[in-house]
Amino acid sequence: MRQQSREHIVILFVGGVIALNYPLLDLFDRAWAPFGIPLLYCYLYLAWLVIIVLLIVVVEHSEVREPGEPSKSLSPPPKNTPSSNTAAHSRDSGGTGVKEPP
């Protein structure tokens, strides 16, 4: 997982703790009930849904690597060097296009 993804998850955790803690919950503890559902319950379920959706987005965009796998970069792959091309031609069996194993 990339370092940036870890940072986003930590920020999401801190934001979730703040969103689901006393000061903000007290703002939504009112008698008003949209669609017959108390406002506090609407807020809790919507905040919970938003946190889950954001977590899914962060995890889906994170790069998962195996320990031995090299990291992917945006730079183009390296070009063949002349020494690697001559080594490949030297293993060619008489110009037939079939390469013999080393």
Q: What is the pTM of this model?
A: 0.59
The length of the chain is: 102
Q: What per-residue confidence (pLDDT) applies to 3?
A: 83
Sign of CA dihedral 25, 27, 17, 12: positive
pLDDT tens digit string along 48-93? Answer: 999 999 999 999 988 766 677 666 655 565 666 565 555 555 555 5
- pLDDT at residue 22 in the model: 93
Contact 1, 63 (CB under 8 A): yes
Domain boundaries along the sequence of the chain: 3-65
Helix (H, G, I), strand (E, B) or coil at 97: coil
Q: Is the pLDDT of residue 41 over 80?
A: yes
Angle among Cα 45, 47, 49 to the nearest 5 degrees reads: 65
The answer, yes or no, to whether residue 100 has pLDDT greater than 90, is no
Closest CA to 22 of 37, 51, 53, 44: 44
Per-residue buried b or exposed e for 62-77, using 16+ beta carbons within 10 Å of the residue's own CB: beeeeeeeeeeeeeee
pLDDT tens, residue by residue, 11-27: 999 999 999 999 899 99
The pLDDT value given to residue 86: 53
Per-residue pLDDT, 62: 86
Cα(100)–Cα(102) distance, integer angstroms:
6
The per-residue pLDDT for 63 is: 73
